Copies of this chain bind each other. A is one copy, B any other.
Amino acid sequence: MARAMLGAIEAGGTKFVLAVGPSPDRILARHTIPTRTPEATLAEAAEWLAGKGGITSLGIGSFGPVELDRTSPKWGFITNTPKPGWADCDIAGYLGQALGVPVGFDTDVNAAALAEYAAAGGAGGGLAYLTIGTGIGGGIVLDGKPVHGAAHPEIGHIYPRRHQDDVDFAGICPAHGDCLEGLASGPAIIARWGVSLSQLPADHPGHAIIADYIAQACHSLFASVAVETIVIGGGVANTPGLTQRVAERARQLDNGYLPGGVRHRIIAPRLGGDAGITGALMLAETAGRA
């Protein structure tokens, strides 16, 4: 078998991160391009990847919603996103054709979850990756495989209980108002307090409020899927102390009840900002296999 050269794309609403390497833990070249129209963005991505001298497969971790059902004619599409121009975009099909290689495809957060799962040595009890940024999303890996279900997780849209010091803010989710994303995403924080979480004074109640909402999502995941590890990534998660506050609040919410006990843990990404692109390389590794 010829040596593999993996290509990968972390496709975000603001930028596309591109990379090539012989294995997920060895990135030989990397490039970032701004997200514009699908035509311009995908053409530039294909050109850069083609210029790297012959990738053998491609992995894409994409913003969503996406179609992951292998039996659907729309597999590999970004589906009904509100992002102008991108609805119904056959991102996997276009790039697979343009580069002439098999494509592995999943959500950006499932890709990041895959990479963090591998970085944790294959967390026996499963792993969830939450990103808290412009939006809130999550991916789950159980037994080494991303969880799909009827579509893919959209954990940002559960309804946390309102914090007692945060009862007046209506939330900003167009569909749900005060769901998790409507309350705890970066834009929701700015809508309430005018600045990002990391810019709030250390004694500002916002720190406890946001940690409480994220901790409720973590408790729900521990209680409903029993994942062992939850990794908190994304821009908001870079706020100093946030991960620890979330972990502490989740322990309070559990109150020593769950049978997973101390095995349940909430941590920062081991791969830092590289989780998504590393996971996309992992998707390239298994592309074309059943």
Interface residues of A (CB under 8 A from B): 64-66, 69, 79-80, 124-126, 138, 140, 142-143, 145, 147-162, 175-176, 216-217, 219-228, 253-261, 263-264
Residue of chain B at shortest CB distance from A127: B149
Contacts A175-B257, A259-B64 hold; do A153 and B228 have CB atoms under 8 A apart? no
Contact A161 B158 (CB under 8 A): no
5 A-B Cβ contacts within 8 A? A80-B259, A157-B258, A159-B216, A175-B257, A176-B257
Q: Are A257 and B154 in contact (CB under 8 A)?
A: yes
State in angstroms the CA–CA spacing of A125 and B68 once bound together. Answer: 11
> Chain A's interface: helix, strand, loop or mixed, by majority?
loop
Residues of B within 8 A of A151 (CB): 125, 226, 258-261, 263
Asked whether A150 and B175 contact (CB < 8 A) given A143-B145, A158-B219, A158-B220, the answer is no
Closest to A148 in B: B226
Taking CB atoms, residues of chain B closer than 8 Å to A138 are 224
Q: Establish whether residues A159 and B227, one from each chain, have CB atoms under 8 Å apart when the complex forms.
A: no
Q: Which residues of B contact A79 (CB under 8 A)?
A: 259
Write the nearest CB–CB distance from A78 to chain B, whole angstroms: 11
Complex-state Cα separation, A45 to B257, whole angstroms: 30
How many copies of the polypeptide does the oligomer hold?
2
Asked if B125 contacts A148 (CB within 8 A), the reply is yes
Q: Which of B150, B216, B257 contacts A263 (CB 8 A)?
A: B150
- Residues A126 and B154 in contact in the complex (CB < 8 Å), given A161-B162, A221-B224: no
Most B CB within 10 A of own CB, among A138, A254, A259, A260: A259
The minimal Cβ–Cβ distance linking A121 to chain B, given in whole angstroms, is 14
Chain A to chain B: the 4 pairs with minimum beta-carbon distance, closest first: A149-B226, A150-B260, A125-B150, A65-B259
| A228 cross-chain contacts in B, Cβ below 8 A | 149-150
Contact B225 A154, beta carbon cutoff 8 Å: no
Given known A154-B257, A257-B157, contact A149–B225 (CB-CB < 8 A): yes
- Given A158-B219, A255-B176, A257-B176: A226 and B125 within 8 A (CB)? no
Q: Are A153 and B253 also in contact (CB < 8 A) when A145-B143, A148-B125, A159-B216 are? A: no
**Nearest-neighbor residue (CB-CB) of A217 within chain B:** B224
Chain B residues with Cβ below 8 Å from A147 are 126, 142, 225-226
Q: Chain B residue with minimal CB distance to A142? A: B147
Q: How far is the CA of A253 from the CA of B160 in the complex (A)?
A: 12
Docked Cα-Cα span, A33 to B258, in Å, equals 29
Residues of B within 8 A of A258 (CB): 151, 154, 157
- A175: nearest chain-B partner, CB-CB: B257
Indicate which residue in B64, B69, B153, B226 contacts A154 across the interface (CB closer than 8 Å): B226
